[in-house]
Structure formats: structure tokens, C-alpha cells
Structure 1
Amino acid sequence: MYAHDNTESAVDWDSLPPAERVDAAAEAFRMLGDATRLRLLWLLCGGEYDVTTLAGHLDAPRPAVSQHLAKLRLAGLVTQRRDGRRAVYAARGGHVRRLLAEALGAAAHHLQGLPDHD
């Protein structure tokens, strides 16, 4: 399903956003430029996981998954909390889920050769 933009009327497209906001968004997009991090974030949009479980889903080494999660945390896309001795991770909120859904929806449209709709 392709999400629709319901906030367009609230956005002032004629004024540039503050530089620090643009920089933070650019960093978040850089973090999403890696297929492994996109897959991790997809899983984390569905619930909380620890590193071992995520590594199993991705068939990837735990240290590599930990490094990807650290980058996603620094970009503000993922949260971490302690559950006893283990750390569990989750997507940071609805805005992250919508961003990921839009990105993968746009990719599906592109791959299927569907026309853009506004």
C-alpha cells in the first residue's frame, strides 16, 4: 500500500527548513542507504528485537548487526532499552515506519513501472 501525504497543506514548501534539521534528515537518509540497515529497520518497525534475534533473521554476524544498530541509533531512527542483561531495539516511532513504508512503496512503484500519482 502506498501512503498518502495528508500533511501537505501544513508544509511551507517556499521556505527552507533550518539547516540542523536538513543535516539530521540527510544523515538519516545516509543510514537508510544500506540494504542491511533497511532490512533491520523493517524488522524493528514490527516489534522489539535483540541483536541475536536480528542477526538470525538476517543471517548476519552479531558484531555487524550491532554496528548497524549503533548507526541507526545515532541517526535517531532506532531506540534501545534494557531487558535484564540484554538490549532490545525498536523503530523510534510512527514517523520512522511511515518513512520506511514510503521509501519501499516508491521502490515498488519504480520496479513495477507504475506512474507517479500526486
Structure 2
Amino acid sequence: MSADTRACGYSTDSPYVELAVEVFSMLADATRVRIVMALRDAGELPVNRLADIVDKSPAGVSQHLAKLRLARIVATRQEGQKVFYRLENEHASRLVADAIFQAEHSLGGVPRHHQADQAVAE
């Protein structure tokens, strides 16, 4: 086993496999996926603004954010009485993007994310 493989945990015998499944489980909710997408686009948002974007109640969004925070997918910053949420790192955003791209493949034809590649090649 190479040092590089061990360092990042990307192998079939990785101790991180179960944790990766928990990450997928945490993102297996449409509201949480929309929250990740909103934070990817905006960078940092308070609960009320996120609730507007994902079209859910602030209380419901708060519950989702609490779970995402426990999973270390989002982080917070407090400014006075307002709490702002942001993605902890770029990985959840990439997972969501890849899941959306995979979903596009399920529709058949050339997915939108490949059409840009074809336009550049032409």
C-alpha cells in the first residue's frame, strides 16, 4: 500500500468507508442537497435566507443545518444574534455536483455538463 493511498484513505480497505456512507446518507435528502447548492453559490447565508432559497420553513432548515453541522459539512459564524452558515470545505459541493451530473446521465442523450465540453472541442 503506498503512502499516498494511506494518507487520503482512498482504498477498498479504508477505515473511512463507513464514514463515507454516513456522508452519503446525510446528503440523501433533497432539502440538504439544495442547502449545499445554495451555500456553494452564495458562500455564506443566514437561516432565513436559506429557507427562502430552498422554499422551506426556517425551523425545518435549522434542523437540517444542525445535522449538516454535526456531520461537519457546514460551519457557522455568529454576527450579533445572526448565525451565518457556510460549507466547511469544497467536498460536499463536489459530491452534490457529481450526483446532479449522474442524474443527468439517467435521462439519456448528451447531458448538459458534457455539452459544454463538446462546444469547446469544436
Cα 1:85–1:16 change in 2 (3 A) is same
Q: CA deviation at 1:73?
A: 1.0
What is the correspondence of 1:35-114 to structure 2 with a 5 Å cutoff? 35-46=30-41, 47-113=43-109
Gaps of 5+ in 2: 112-122
Cα 1:81–1:106 change in 2 (3 A) is same
Gaps of 5+ in 1: 1-9
Q: CA deviation at 1:59?
A: 2.0
Partner secondary structure for residue 112 of structure 1: coil
Q: CA deviation at 1:38?
A: 0.5
Partner secondary structure for residue 111 of structure 1: coil
Q: Is the 8 A contact 1:81 1:87 kept in 2?
A: yes
Greater RCO, CA 8 A, separation 6+: 1
In 1: Cα distance, 2:92 partner to 2:11 partner: 25
In 1: Cα distance, 2:11 partner to 2:38 partner: 36
Partner secondary structure for residue 107 of structure 2: helix
In 2: Cα distance, 1:70 partner to 1:81 partner: 14
Percent of matched pairs sharing the same residue = 42
Query: What's the Cα RMSD here?
Result: 2.1
In 1: Cα distance, 2:31 partner to 2:90 partner: 21
User: In the alignment, residue 92 of structure 2 is paired with which amino acid?
Assistant: V
Q: Is the 8 A contact 1:49 1:90 kept in 2?
A: yes
Name segments (4+ residues, structure 1) moved above 4 Å: 10-15
| TM-score calculated relative to the size of structure 2 | 0.75
In 1: Cα distance, 2:11 partner to 2:28 partner: 27
Asked whether 1:27 is paired with 2:31, we answer: no
**In the TM superposition, what whole-angstrom CA distance separates every residue of 1:1-54 from its partner, at most 9, and x where no partner exists?**
xxxxxxxxx658764101xx2222111111111111110111011211100001
